Structure 1
């Protein structure tokens, strides 16, 4: 990276003695609601440099950083403006992963949610996959991530997920991921493993398409394997080969079925 310009400070060069007297051009890799950054290409002027305390309440679920400092902006003395200098040295950072490498197999449409406190929020779910798991849910609640997710192409856009919270969903009776203010999502990271995952996803999708075509004349009466919904979930969790195909009958009520998804096939029986 080139040497900083006169009067410009780097993240590595921050110290409390620079408070009120530094300008910092930097790449914003993630931002949360409420959004106050007009762009990801910004210049911070006259911020207050303070030492981060791990016990601070507002440090919960924040991305891990190598710098021990935080920046606080004042409406009276600080400013956030677009950086007008040469940003060539920063562009490569967009593709560097900032810890899970996954492929979105489905990006659901955002839906409006009302909280118990009367707040109106938006939620969006991603269904993720990799060679170890056929489908895993990731919930988005931040409007910025939801907006960006609509630009990702299922089965093509590789994601690098960092610091994702995992919780147990009692309604679905399974674990799900939740994007919080600690989480960073990097689309199409510059990693050889990302290219390998993309090739794997293309192969899986092609094989699924062939299976759907071959099953058009499938004889349901020939299926001898039966199980409950709970047992089916346990079998899915124990899968070691997500490309394998197996048919089983499950007596159950349908409570949710996205008709535009390629995960399901409706057969008249």
Structure 2
């Protein structure tokens, strides 16, 4: 059936569609396979009744809206994303009766290969709706499917295996994601944003039936995620097909590239969490170097408790590879140009720059006790995160004990050996406190002269340092060198200090 124009005539279709009519909408695949399939990259608005095929990347639950054409009646729709090439995927919206749309939703699932015939190609809207509520796609158009005019069935053609292989290819660049440590550390600037994550499933919680304040019944499932920088991070799933799919994921065996997941600050937990919504697309066990490295890391960890809140870094005694400073410099330069896996090792070197008697902001870091957001002296050490209860309290009062910040070490040092010097090695928290032997709260109060004495007691002293070198968000080229321990060198280890 040839047709043009917008889909609206289905509003007049009776709710009591006969089963024979429904079968006509989904003909046998031996009929559909004779249709000429048009690639998504070759589509454009105005093309007449094309046939397209591909993989269902993600799918929403059926929804209803009030019909503008027939007040008092409802229109039903189903949205999913269709992909036929690594860089070609598009939003598809199916319109029809309640029975017809629910039938499509039950028949086709995420990761199915499907063929759509007689669809309409429409330009993306510019009212902001697509950007806010639909997955971001590289195409300049959307596809509309009408129950009255279009056909859909499973695709069994020659490219079915190719389409299925696309489910392991992330829709974003392999290195276009945040590490969880950065999400937690930069909560104020990221809260409410959609970002990409590469994580391992650590724990899958039970599916819970929820009744909202408005009486709507829905489902909720919470997962715990992890990566090399964070042992536990919450992902919340609401009523959608992905909840059922998540039940088949295996803890520590399933790696997820999560595109456009919403992150926000959870005031009750005093930390950042993530929530999958209508924009989110999951790539399960992506076939990338970064994913394989993360999988290996997850299997190298041991967890002592049910919640899996064990360490994210390996035990120090298991780190045995020794590096020189020049090797660290080379590794850092490599990671600036492209993502590479995290490296753990041992360095024997001198602390050649240790400005603990300089600007206090370069030695100590103040954090909100609730959300761990960094606070500054210029802002009166008050939390500016409006989603944090301290941020709200600080707007009205500065006398509440919980609003007083915590203080911790955050020292950047330079270390040297016979091969060179590397700057910006971070000594944080307990590592710096163990080296200095002074609590951070006390260090803030000692006089300048005493700080200078502490500085010179550690400069040019031989040290054994366990380190971790990791990449931040892939497209920033930022590399972190962090000391996991820093101790004096004993006589047996002195050989590593020789040229």
Alpha-carbon contact 1:166-1:175 (below 8 Å) kept: yes
* Equivalence map 1:122-201=2 (5 Å): 122-201=219-298
User: In structure 1, how many angstroms separate the alpha carbons of the residues matched to 2:369 and 2:142?
Assistant: 49
1:9 aligns with 2:82: no
Stretch of structure 1 that moved more, 157-166 or 71-80:
71-80
Alpha-carbon contact 2:252-2:298 (below 8 Å) kept: yes
Secondary structure at the residue paired with 1:129?
Answer: strand
Q: CA deviation at 1:122?
A: 0.3
Structure number, greater radius of gyration = 2
Alpha-carbon contact 1:161-1:184 (below 8 Å) kept: yes
**Can you list the C-alpha shifts for 1:203-246, whole angstroms capped at 9, x where unaligned?**
1226889x89xxxxxxxxxxxxxxxxx959849xx999xxx9xx
Q: Of 9, 17, 25, which residue of structure 1 is paired with 2:53? A: 25
User: In structure 1, how many angstroms separate the alpha carbons of the residues matched to 2:116 and 2:58?
Assistant: 15
Distance 1:196 1:232, change over 3 A: farther
Alpha-carbon contact 2:47-2:121 (below 8 Å) kept: yes
Alpha-carbon contact 1:42-1:83 (below 8 Å) kept: yes
Give the TM-score of the pair, scaled to structure 1: 0.73
1:89 aligns with 2:162: yes
1:69 aligns with 2:141: yes
Give the TM-score of the pair, scaled to structure 2: 0.40
Q: CA deviation at 1:178?
A: 0.6
User: In structure 1, how many angstroms separate the alpha carbons of the residues matched to 2:170 and 2:42?
Assistant: 22
Distance 1:206 1:107, change over 3 A: closer
Q: CA deviation at 1:94?
A: 1.4
Q: CA deviation at 1:88?
A: 2.2
Alpha-carbon contact 1:105-1:128 (below 8 Å) kept: yes
Aligned to 2:21: none
User: In structure 2, how many angstroms separate the alpha carbons of the residues matched to 1:129 and 1:64?
Assistant: 25
Alpha-carbon contact 1:108-1:124 (below 8 Å) kept: yes
Unaligned runs of 5+ residues in structure 1 are: 213-229, 245-269
Q: CA deviation at 1:167?
A: 1.5
Alpha-carbon contact 1:49-1:72 (below 8 Å) kept: yes
Aligned to 1:46: 118
Greater fraction strand: 2
Distance 1:199 1:33, change over 3 A: same
Secondary structure at the residue paired with 2:59?
Answer: coil
Q: CA deviation at 1:56?
A: 4.3
Alpha-carbon contact 2:44-2:121 (below 8 Å) kept: yes
Q: CA deviation at 1:48?
A: 1.1
User: In structure 2, how many angstroms separate the alpha carbons of the residues matched to 1:63 and 1:75?
Assistant: 23
Q: Of 211, 217, 221, which residue of structure 2 is paired with 1:114? A: 211
Q: CA deviation at 1:153?
A: 0.6
Secondary structure at the residue paired with 2:162?
Answer: helix
Alpha-carbon contact 1:155-1:205 (below 8 Å) kept: no
Q: CA deviation at 1:58?
A: 4.9
Unaligned runs of 5+ residues in structure 2 are: 1-33, 63-77, 79-103, 172-195, 312-367, 373-405, 411-425, 431-499
Secondary structure at the residue paired with 1:33?
Answer: coil
Distance 1:66 1:174, change over 3 A: same
Give the number of equivalent residue pairs.
Answer: 218
User: In structure 2, how many angstroms separate the alpha carbons of the residues matched to 1:203 and 1:133?
Assistant: 14
Distance 1:68 1:233, change over 3 A: closer
User: In structure 2, how many angstroms separate the alpha carbons of the residues matched to 1:207 and 1:109?
Assistant: 21
Q: CA deviation at 1:93?
A: 0.5
Alpha-carbon contact 1:169-1:175 (below 8 Å) kept: yes
Aligned to 1:252: none
